[in-house]
Chains A and B, each alone.
Chain A
Amino acid sequence: MSILEWMPFSVLLPLLAAPVCALLPGRVLPWLLAMISVTASAVIMAFVLPEAVQAPMRYFFGDWPPPIGIEYRVDAVNGFIGLLIALMGTVILPWGRVSVNREVPQRQGLFYALFLLSFAGLMGITLTGDAFNVFVFLEISSLSTYVLVAQGRSRAAPLSAFRYLVMGTLGATFYLIGIGLIYIMTGTLNMVDLAERLPAVADSGAVQAAFGFIIVGIGLKLALFPLHRWLPGAYANAPSAVTVFLASTATKVAIYVLLRLVFTVFGLEFVRQMPFAEVFFVLGVIGILFASLWAVEQDNAKRLLAYSSVAQVGYMALAISFVSVAGISAGLVHMFNHALMKAALFMCVCTVIYQVGSPSISAFNGLGRKMPLTMLAFVLAGLSLIGVPLTVGFISKWLLIEAAMDQGNWFAVVVVLIGSLLAVLYIGKIAEAAWLKPTPEGHETIREARPALLLPMWLLVAANFYFGIDTRLTADVARRGAEMLLGVSP
C-alpha cells in the first residue's frame, strides 16, 4: 500500500478502534488499544506530511471522484495540523492514564472509546476536503467531548458540559446554516469546487449571510472573544486528561477550519470585500487584553490557564486579521507552539491537582520545594508562554510582531507586548506561590509526582525549547501553508 492509501487511516484507525474499545473490560486493554491507534495515526501523519508539502494528496472515498464523493485532501496546512493533533494525542494518553484511573475509575472502556471518537473527529475535520464532512466530524468530536467533560469529578462538571453543549450546538447549527446557504447557491460541497463556483455568486446576499453564519459558528467553536464563555468552565471541570487534550487540540482545529473556509473556499477577493479583517482585529485585541486581565484575577489555576487560552486565541485572531502571508504563517506557528506550551502548563497544574488535591492557587504554596521537577517544568513552560527567547513563545511573538510591523501597525505591537506583560503577571502568580511562599501546614507529606506523569511533561517542555531553536519544521511549513491558503505561488 502506498502512503496515499494509508493516509485516511490516520482518521479511520481511531474511528474503527472506538467501538471495540467500548466493549473491552478492565483498565489496561482499552487504554492500550487507544494508545496503539493514536500512535499509528501519528506515524501515518509523520509520513504523510513530507509528501503533502510537495503536492496535495487526494483520497477519494469509495473511489467516487469528487464532487460526487467525499475526498480527503491533505496539503501543507492540514498535514501540519493533523500531525500536531496526532502527536499531542500520543503524548497525552500515557500521561492521562494515571489521572484517568483516579478520576474515572469505572467503565474506562467507554471513556477511551469517547476519547478515540473525539480524536478521530478532530483528525477528520482536519483532513477532509468536503465542507459538509467537516460538519459531520465536528459533531462527532463535539458530542464525544461534551460527554468527556461531564466525566469530571466536581459537581460543576455536568453543568459546564451542558453549557458547552448549548454553545457548541449553536455553533454547529450556525455552521450548518452557512454551508446550507452556499450549497443552495453553488450546488456543491467540495471545497475546491466551492472555491471555483463562489466568485460568480459572490455579490448575492445569501453568500454574504453564509459567510457571517460560518464565521460566527466557528467563532463559537474556537472560543473567540466574546463567544468564549463556555471555555473556562469546560476546561476547569473536565477530567485532567481531557483538559490537556482539549486545550492543545480543539481550538486549533477550529482555527484551521476558519482559515480553510475563509481563504480557500471564499477566497481573498471576497474576504477583502467583507469586514473580516477589521472584526478579527478588534476582537483579537480585546480578547488578548481582557482575557489576560481575567486570567490575572483567577484563584483557580486551571481556570487561570483557561482564560489564558482565550487570550492566545486572540493572538491567533490578530495574526489572521493581517490577511498577509506573514500574518497567517504567524497564526499557524502560534497554533502549533501554543499547543506545546499550553499542554505542558496544563499537565503541570493537573499533576499538582493529582498530588495535592486542590486546583486553587493557594494549594501551590511552597510546592517548589516539595515538587521541584513539576514546578520547574511549569516555570519553563510559563516562560515559553510569556515569550522569552529560546522558547517557542518567542518565535510566535517575533513572527506576529514582524507581521504587524510589515503593515505599520504599531498598535498591534503594543497590544502584543501588553499581553506578554500580563502573561508575566498570571504565570508569576503561580510561580511566586510555588517558589516564594512558605509551605502550609499539612502539606509536609506531599511528594514529587511519579515518573509516568513527569516524563510526558518534560518531553513537552523539551519540545518547547527544541522548536524554539530549530524552527525549520514550524516556520517553514507554516509559511508554505500560508502561501497556499492565500494563493501566492511559493
Chain B
Amino acid sequence: MKTNGILRVVTRFLIPLIMLFALYIQFHGEYSPGGGFQAGVIFAAAWILFALVFGLDEALAVIPAKAQKVLASVGVMLYSFIGVLGVVLGGRFLDFNPLIPGSPQGAQQAGIILVELGVGITVAAVVMIVYTLFADRLRVVADLTREEID
C-alpha cells in the first residue's frame, strides 16, 4: 500500500487530525463525554493506520515494541502515583482534594485529568501491543518453528 499515492496523501493528512481528536477527547473527558480509554483507543488507531499503510516495520521504528511495553506500565504507574499522592498529602487513596489546597474544584479537575492521562497512555500502548502481536504473528511463528528445528 506504500506505493499508492492516494492512500499515502490521505493517510498523512488524516493521522495528525486523528491524534488531535484523541487529545481533544482526552482533555475534555472530565466535563464532556470522553476520557482516557476512548482517547487512548483513538490515538492508537492513528498509529495502526500508519502501520497499515506504511508497514509494521516503519511503524515500529516510530514506537518500538519495547517502548509500547514500557508505556503500558508507565500509564498505570501515573494513575497509582496520583492515587498515592492523595495519601501522602494526608487524604485517602485517589483523594484529589489535597492536591491543590483551598480549591476543591481545581483539585478534582487536576486529579481526574492526570489519572485519565495515565489511563490514556496505558490503553493506547496496550492497543498497539495487541495490534503488533497479531501483525507480527507471521514472524513470531517463523521464530518458533526455527527454534523447534534447532
Interface of A with B (CB < 8 Å)?
A: 1, 5, 8, 12, 15-16, 18-20, 22-23, 59-63
User: Which residues of chain B are within 8 angstroms of A61 by Cβ–Cβ distance?
Assistant: 92-95
Nearest B residue to A110 via CB reads: B69
Judge whether B92 and A59 touch: CB under 8 Å: yes
Chain B residues whose C-beta falls within 8 Å of the C-beta of A1 in the assembled complex: 87
CB contacts (< 8 Å) of A63 on chain B: these are 91-92, 95, 97
Residue on B nearest A16 in the bound complex, by CB:
B80
Q: Could you list some 24 contacts between A and B, CB below 8 A?
A: A1-B87, A5-B92, A8-B93, A12-B84, A16-B77, A16-B80, A19-B72, A19-B73, A19-B76, A19-B80, A20-B73, A20-B77, A22-B69, A23-B70, A61-B92, A61-B93, A61-B94, A62-B86, A62-B93, A62-B94, A63-B91, A63-B92, A63-B95, A63-B97
Nearest chain A residue, comparing its CB with the CB of B108: A62
Alpha-carbon distance A405/B92, docked complex (angstroms): 48
Top 3 nearest A-B pairs by Cβ distance? A19-B73, A19-B76, A62-B94
Tell yes or no: B43 within 8 A of A by CB.
no
Bound CA span A5–B94, Å:
13
Which of A8, A18, A20, A62 contacts B96, CB < 8 Å? A62
Point out residues on B near A: beta carbons under 8 Å.
69-70, 72-74, 76-77, 80, 83-84, 86-87, 91-97
Residues of B with C-beta under 8 A to A23:
69-70, 73
Q: Which residues of B contact A60 (CB under 8 A)?
A: 92
Taking a contact as CB atoms under 8 Å apart, the answer to whether B96 and A15 are in contact is no
B107 to chain A, nearest CB (A): 11
User: In the complex the two chains form, is A19's CB within 8 Å of B92's CB?
Assistant: no
Smallest Cβ-Cβ distance to B77: which chain A residue: A19
C-alpha gap A62/B87 in the complex (Å) = 9
Q: CA separation between A5 and B83, bound complex, in Å?
A: 13
Residues from chain A with a CB closer than 8 A to the CB of B84 are: 12, 16
Minimum C-beta distance from A218 to chain B (A): 27
Nearest CB to that of B78 among chain A residues? A19
Q: Roughly how many angstroms separate A22 CA and B97 CA in the complex, as a whole number?
A: 31
Nearest Cβ distance between residue B36 and chain A, in whole angstroms? 15
- With both beta carbons as reference points, the residue of chain A lying nearest to B98 in the complex is identified as A63
User: Contacts of A16 on B, CB cut-off 8 Å?
Assistant: 77, 80, 84
Are A5 and B86 closer than 8 Å at their CB atoms?
Answer: no
Docked pose: A260 CA to B68 CA in angstroms: 40
Residues of A within 8 A of B73 (CB): 19-20, 22-23
Distance, CA A59 to CA B76, complexed state (A):
22
A59 CA / B96 CA spacing, docked (Å): 16
Neighbouring B residues of A22 by C-beta, 8 Å = 69, 72-73
Q: Using CB atoms, name the residue of chain B closest to A70.
A: B94
Which of A5, A18, A20 is within 8 Å of B87, CB to CB?
A5
A44 CB to closest chain B CB (Å) equals 14
Using CB atoms, name the residue of chain B closest to A21: B73
Query: Which single residue of chain B is at the shortest CB-CB distance from A17?
Result: B80
Which residue of chain A lies nearest to B75 when distances are taken between CB atoms in the complex? A19
Q: B102 → chain A, closest Cβ, in Å?
A: 16
CA distance A18 to B79 in the complex (A): 13
Contact status B69-A12, CB under 8 Å:
no
Given contacts A59-B92, A63-B95, contact A15 B69 (CB under 8 A): no
For the complex, give the distance between the alpha carbons of A413 and B5 in Å: 80
A12-B80, A22-B72, A62-B94 given; 15 more Cβ-contact pairs under 8 Å: A5-B87, A12-B84, A16-B77, A19-B74, A19-B77, A19-B80, A20-B77, A22-B69, A22-B73, A23-B69, A62-B86, A62-B93, A62-B95, A62-B96, A63-B95
What is the bound-complex CA distance between A8 and B87, given in angstroms?
11
- Chain B residue at minimal CB-CB distance from A18: B76
From known contacts A22-B69, A22-B73, A62-B86, infer whether A15 and B80 are also in contact, taking CB-CB under 8 Å: yes
CB-CB under 8 A from B83, the residues of chain A are: 12
Within the assembled complex, what's the spacing in Å between the Cα atoms of A212 and B84?
39
* Given known A22-B69, A22-B73, contact A62–B80 (CB-CB < 8 A): no
Q: Determine the distance from Cα of A61 to Cα of B84 in the docked complex, in whole angstroms.
A: 11
Query: Residues of A contacting B72 with CB < 8 Å?
Result: 19, 22
Asked if A12 meets B93 with Cβ closer than 8 Å, knowing A5-B87, A19-B76, A62-B86, the reply is yes
CA distance A62 to B94 in the complex (A): 4
* Residue picked from A12, A20, A23, A62, most chain B C-beta under 10 Å: A62
Minimal beta-carbon separation of B16 from chain A (angstroms): 30
Q: How far is the CB of B110 from chain A (nearest CB, A)?
A: 14
Q: Is A62 a contact partner of B92 (Cβ separation < 8 A)? A: yes
Closest to B70 in A: A23
In the assembled complex, the CB of B93 is this many whole angstroms from the nearest CB of chain A, namely 6
State how many angstroms separate the Cβ of A197 from the closest Cβ of chain B: 26
Residues on the A chain within 8 Å of B86, using CB = 62
Q: Which residue of B83, B93, B95 has the most chain A CB atoms within 10 A of its CB atom?
A: B93
A216 → chain B closest CB, angstroms: 30
| Docked pose: A286 CA to B77 CA in angstroms | 47
Q: How far is the CB of B11 from chain A (nearest CB, A)?
A: 32
Residues on A with beta carbons closer than 8 Å to the beta carbon of B74: 19
With A and B bound together, what is the CA distance between A208 and B62 in angstroms?
A: 54
The smallest beta-carbon distance between B112 and chain A, in angstroms, is: 10
Could you say which residues of chain B place their CB within 8 Å of the CB of A62?
86, 92-96
Set of chain A residues within 8 Å of B80, measured between Cβ atoms: 12, 15-16, 19
Q: How far is the CA of A18 from the CA of B70 in the complex (A)?
A: 13
In the bound complex, CA of A1 to CA of B74 (Å): 27
